[in-house]
Amino acid sequence: MSLRVDALFQPITLGKLELKNRLAMAPMTRNRSPKGIPGDDVAAYYRRRAEADIGLIITEGTPPPHKAAVGYPNVPLFFGEEPLAGWKRVVDEVHAAGGKIFPQLWHVGSIRQAGINPGGDLPGYGPSAIVHPNHAKINPNKQAQPPHEMTQVDIDECVQAFATAAKSAQDLGFDGVEIHGAHGYLIDQFFWETTNQRTDKYGGSFENRLNFAIELIAATRAAVGPDYPICFRFSQWKQGDYNWKIAQNAEELDRFLTPLSHAGVDIFHASTRRFWEPEFEGSDLNLAGWTRKITGKPTITVGSVGLDTDFLTTFKGVTAKAAGIEQLVERLEKGEFDLVAVGRALLSDPAWASKVHEGRSDEIVDFNPACLAKLI
């Protein structure tokens, strides 16, 4: 085993979270849970990755108990007796395989379209009654519908929903939770001045637009106690606008991250399309690297790991071929980030990590979009 690869397979302790290596499975929506119930096939899907050298599984997005959280059909819910029983099977299978697992708690906000159950005819909920500017790209076959502008009561209910879901995760035996604050979904919609035109304490200034997330994180922390790991996923880019930046420079990123860190985040998951791209001019650090430098908290990097093209290209039908990870390992060795999340490479090849670990990289299966029909 090359020392260059060995860095990926070193154990790490983050607070009370002990991981056998530095590899995580990135959250990826599957739409394979009829009626919102994760079945035995879902448990087997996650176990298969845990058995093959993935230290931390971060599940697909799963909605907390809020009436307008769900935006897509057949996603696994994180409330209700049957869905939670299904998640308990998932946890048990991953633990039996020697892995650790976080659910990703996910509210889609204004991207929701009426007619998706549960929720039925409810519109999307958002910080302002503004149609998502990239609606036509996100939902090309659906007419745009203005979201319901959230009242203080709505905001309080949503904050409580995340806290409730996090406590359910803790009770079910999950090893921590990830809060989805990225990619133009609800929490990110509050960050983004394009979708947040509020004039109360949740809108206007850069600092005010953070208040919803701060309250949500703080409530989650209060629900699970001081030692339970909370991961927060964020991105600069939005769906349909991949060049957008919340922070144009390191100083603005500090203003964004530090309040979230103080609210109770233990780990930051910095979502980018290509892990090797510098986030700001004048430095080679990527977004996870800057996040670690600013907050001092552990970070997860992600973005085209092990593949030669980003997800936008492959989801247009182009096969992504396996690529070397030398630069990734070098950055990890330098301490730029702590964990590495792998996405599409694990969809096409559940044994990706084991093959890397055992020096069998030539056996890695390329990512062909056709594999999405199987998702074994």
Bridge partners of 25, per DSSP, are 57, 342
The identity of residue 158, as a single letter, is C
Judge whether 358 and 1 are in contact, CB under 8 Å. Answer: yes
Encoding tokens for residue 63?
């909605």
Is the omega angle on the peptide bond into residue 118 within 30 degrees of 0, that is, cis?
Answer: yes
Q: Cα–Cα distance between 314 and 283 in angstroms, integer?
A: 29
Q: Which of 45, 125, 185, 202 is catalytic?
A: 185
Q: Is 336 left (phi over 0), alpha (psi -120 to 50) or beta?
A: alpha
Judge whether 123 and 112 are in contact, CB under 8 Å. Answer: yes
Q: Cα–Cα distance between 266 and 263 in angstroms, integer?
A: 10
| Exposure string over 237-273, b if 16+ CB within 10 A, otherwise e | bbbeeeeebbbeebeebbebbebbbebbbbbbbbbbb
| SS3 at position 218 | helix
Q: Does the annotation mark 185 as catalytic?
A: yes
Judge whether 352 and 364 are in contact, CB under 8 Å. Answer: yes
H-type alpha helices, the chain: 3-6, 40-51, 81-96, 135-138, 152-172, 186-191, 211-224, 250-263, 287-295, 311-314, 326-333, 344-348, 352-357
Q: Cα–Cα distance between 55 and 372 in angstroms, integer?
A: 23
Task: Report the catalytic residues.
Answer: 185
